Structure 1
């Protein structure tokens, strides 16, 4: 099963390759026939893991497309249309996409690391420096944490806003990746300052001055780390992607890492598909956050309980969770997650659906999603070859 799933995943990534880079889906559905920043970079990581030169070239084209369409103030496109000679560029829908900026930096540096080419980073250094300046500006209060608008990242129809854990961690990863090449003491200090603020404001029983002391004291750290906080308080849903990044980057002390890893794996084991839900627990109609959730959609509402971001299960997110397990030497558990990703991707004759209803295992969203295939590729190769991401 695993070898067949891997072959099918490579085939889908090849079908999603265009002259401008990776497309989000092989199907021409909605706005998925576009080069997306985060989707494209995640597919690019799979390309590097595969060693397939055709896919690696597509990754390079993805980065070129994103860089070419960077806004003058530094914003990286959320997505770029490839349907016409005149590119249609989007920097976000209801709000701009903060994570497009960090994923772009990560993508350039991962490509350069794989190719052992400092010149590739130098090629895009102007764009990266503009990205870093923009990220500094998005702190607003110059206290080291990004302030992210509602709809401002991959969970674009969910309730996270303000100081979102996922985005802080992506920024740490991006800065570490870039600093691997430029070796700047200023960036080293910035990384330290951001991690310190993450540990102070998101971890249980932390010391140090909090952004929002009163709200922090009201948090019950029962489901891992909070997903975000803002002037209105903390949101405490478990964010699987954020926890995967937290564990990949080995932030916090080892006992906490071990506790979070166990909690996440236990949660995945209790679900019908054996996959970690994107956010947990789901928000229901009787919950106070329901109104915020139901109104945060530009077209149709998709965040029904157990679906999409609201407790749905994504192969892509679980791919990063599998990498986190590997980072902590939990090889057998990572194999279990890979098997479950492959079973999900194989549904309906390998339709590689975007996500699944965690309660019923019914497929949701767009079929032939490139990053669903990417999850299989980078986790399979991390388990079976010496492929390593730059962390």
Structure 2
């Protein structure tokens, strides 16, 4: 076990630590020099795993910054720019970011759990409950699954929309995290109801009333859960992040988890990088959803086949896949994924690139990306220090 990779990952998190929280990158590029909700919480989970007190304090500052800038209706900022001159708050670009809300709730509760500080949840009880109420409103039809706009989460230039699996799972995780402290019967019932709806609408041969019966019956299920569905039908790309969360959270049966794990690992093993792509297969110009993909960008198009969200490989996503492997006692495979994450992060003198072209293995996106380092820390500590995120 070489420690240089772990040490370099910790070093990068220290570089992006500020008095207001974790920045997304140490590179002074566009809006990455901001405190982000999802990036900050994922880095915060790595901070908790590391048991580095300075990093844990930065995580606390991250959550404080997000809470201070919560919108009056409950929205958590996608990101916050804090400088000596001004504070700029963004709740999203072309669409609002649903997952900023859930990551915030998860972050506060995971911080409190791992630091044995229940008072931290009590301190942000109003912010959390306002956020959870907003998630209820985003169901729109009061049928227990949130409706997520195109561009409404971390895959903000991809094609997922409507009832997006990733966002439903984060909501369950957020509710479970909060309910660990408040032990509410109504929240317990809501968790059961949402989980049932996810299983009925995303798992094959599920018994229960479907949201979109006709589309469900026409769907050819694969060895994994589809990424989203909407009134126009299902989108069936493999979402590695969402499926890793499903395995981690125990959604479906053990057979479901085994199929997901095997599919993801085989896919990762077939690539030059040895990493599982974020979404697969790539969308090409001849495919049905190409126009939806190519127009979903505010500045420049980045989702060429095998790149970015369109079949690109992310260390961050592989971090959660690695955690799923550890949770299923597949240590050898988890060690392999960790080795591949470390090798990817080490390219170009430890540049910790945001993502990679799965076809060529060339780096893409922003260098010195904090959550690429966080991925390595999380899997390393899960493997060798028995660190466990609470799901």
Distance 1:387 1:206 in 2: 34
Query: What's the CA shift for 1:84?
Result: 3.8
SS at match of 1:237: strand
CA drift at 1:218:
1.1
Using the TM superposition, give the Cα deviation of residue 244 of structure 1 relative to its aligned residue in structure 2, in angstroms: 0.8
Partners of 1:344 and 1:124 in 2: CA distance: 37
Q: Which residue of 2 aligns with 1:60?
A: 60
Aligned twin of 1:242: 242
* Partner in structure 2 of residue 205 of structure 1: 205
Could you tell me which residue of structure 2 aligns to residue 163 of structure 1?
Answer: 163
What is the aligned partner in structure 1 of residue 104 from structure 2? 104
**CA displacement, residues 333-368 of structure 1 (integer Å, 9 cap, x when unaligned):** 100000000000000000000000001100000000
Residue 319 of structure 2: aligned partner = 319
Partner of 2:29: 29
> C-alpha displacement at 1:260, in angstroms?
1.3
Residue segments in structure 2 that go unaligned for 5+ positions in a row? none
**Aligned 8 A contact 1:99 1:170 in 2:** yes
| Equivalent in the alignment of 2:299 | 299
Cα distance in 1 between the residues matched to 2:2 and 2:220:
40
1:153 matched to which residue of 2? 153
Secondary structure in 1 matching 2:70? coil
Q: 2:81 matched to which residue of 1?
A: 81
Distance in 2, Cα, partners of 1:235 & 1:103: 24
Residue of structure 2 in register with 1:358 after alignment: 358
| Superposed CA offset, 1:291-337 (max 9, x none) | 00000000000000000000000000000000001111111110000
Return the alpha-carbon distance in structure 1 between the equivalents of residues 174 and 328 of structure 2.
21
Q: Distance in 1 between matches of 2:160 and 2:33?
A: 27
Contact 2:223/2:259, CA 8 A, preserved across alignment = no
- Please state whether the residue corresponding to 2:196 is helix, strand or coil: helix
State whether structure 2 residue 385 is matched by structure 1 residue 376: no
- 1:56-93 CA-to-partner distances (Å, cap 9, x unmatched) read 00000000000000000000000000234421000000
- CA distance, structure 2, for counterparts of residue 263 and residue 229 of structure 1: 21
C-alpha deviation, 1:222, in angstroms: 2.1
Counterpart contact for 1:353–1:372, Cα < 8 Å: yes
1:135 aligns with 2:138: no
Query: Would you say 1:217 and 2:217 are equivalent positions?
Result: yes
Once the 2 structures are TM-superposed, how far is the Cα of residue 223 of structure 1 from its aligned partner? Answer: 4.9
- Return the offset for 1:261: 1.1
CA distance in 2, matches of 1:127, 1:150: 26
Q: For the Cα contact (< 8 Å) 2:202–2:226, is it kept in 1?
A: yes
Aligned to 1:229, what secondary structure does the other structure show? strand
Structure 1 position 256, deviation (Å): 1.4
Cα distance in 1 for residues equivalent to 2:165 and 2:388: 24
Q: CA–CA distance in 2 between the matches of 1:336 and 1:270?
A: 13
1:258 maps to what in 2? Answer: 258
How many angstroms does 1:224 deviate by? 1.5
**Residues 110, 122 of structure 1: CA spacing in aligned structure 2 closer, same or farther, 3 A cutoff?**
same
CA distance in 2, matches of 1:223, 1:348: 35
Report the TM-score when normalising by structure 2.
Answer: 0.99
RMSD: 0.8
TM-score for both structures, normalised by structure 1: 0.99
Partner of 2:290: 290
- The answer to whether 1:230 aligns with 2:224 is no
Runs ≥4 residues deviating over 4 A: none
Task: Output the CA distance in 1 between the equivalents of 2:231 and 2:100.
Answer: 24
Matched, 1:4 2:4: yes
Alpha-carbon distance in 2 for matches of 1:20, 1:243:
32
Deviation at 1:284, TM superposition (A): 0.2
Q: Deviations over 1:126-147 (max 9, x none)?
A: 0000001000000000000010
Q: Which residue of 1 aligns with 2:348?
A: 348
Give structure 1 stretches of 5+ with no counterpart: none
Work out whether 1:50 is the aligned partner of 2:60.
Answer: no
SS of 1:228 mapped into structure 2:
strand
Counterpart for residue 191 of structure 2: 191
Cα separation, 2, equivalents of 1:154 and 1:223: 24
1:8 CA drift (Å): 0.4
Check whether the contact 1:158–1:293 (CA below 8 A) recurs between aligned residues: yes
